[in-house]
Amino acid sequence: MSKTVLITGGSRGIGAATAIYFAGKGYNVAITYNKSADAVNSLKEAMALNNTPFLTVRCDVSDPAQVDLAVEQTVNTFGGLDVMVNNAGIALQKLITDTTNDDWQGILSTNLSGVFYGCRAATRVMVPKHKGSIVNISSIWGITGASMEVAYSATKSGIIGLTKALAKELGPSGIRVNCVAPGVIDTEMNKNLTPEDFAALKNETPLGRLGKAEEIARSVYFLANDAEFVTGQVLSADGGFI
């Protein structure tokens, strides 16, 4: 019987690359998306070419009821949930003095609360079966912090703390919880950066280039499937940036 993965924010960037990679490994794939309907249609076409069992669920991860429903639909469609990838997130680059209360609440509810809701919903499915793997997507800025990204950095740091705590809680139930902290990845989320920004970031990265979404997808798969004695860890896939 094929395994099943659910990836939040799976229509573009790291999420879409992760969906495609897991599909290539024979997984049933479910993704959530919020606004990227066109990207979902393109991904559906790619999955159809490979005959991958594929489910898409429109879901705002800041709403716990919608997250619960996405997990429920995944289980009802495929008969279970083996891997949960909490990837959905948004960016925010502002001085703290320019960051409004709405900015703060918006990024907190999506980036951190959304991961909490995803972990909680997956845990309810996995604990009775005493197996499963959760991989959360943080960022190097959750480790080091980034200027003009106080709110974003705080949410990504929170994901790391959540991961470590939940790994201890779920370890006795046979469930592993880990985290990937990507460096600067060439995705649409970084489209606001200038060519000068990109050049500077490349220079700061020992490997001398930006990361690829597919490279993060392989890191996620490793933690979910191949790292059987690894839990509560943060894998910094950052080209040596930190």
Q: Any catalytic annotation for residue 152?
A: yes
Contact between residue 213 and residue 187 where contact means Cβ atoms under 8 Å apart? yes
Torsion angles phi and psi, residue 31, rounded to 5: -130, 155
CA pair distance 90, 108, nearest whole angstrom: 9
Contact between residue 30 and residue 232 where contact means Cβ atoms under 8 Å apart? no
Residues 6+ apart with CB under 8 A from 186: 210, 211, 212, 213
List 21, 27, 117, 152, catalytic entry: 152
CA pair distance 19, 29, nearest whole angstrom: 6
Contact between residue 125 and residue 132 where contact means Cβ atoms under 8 Å apart? yes
CA pair distance 153, 140, nearest whole angstrom: 9
Residue with tokens 């499915």: 125
Contact between residue 28 and residue 5 where contact means Cβ atoms under 8 Å apart? yes
Active site residues: 152
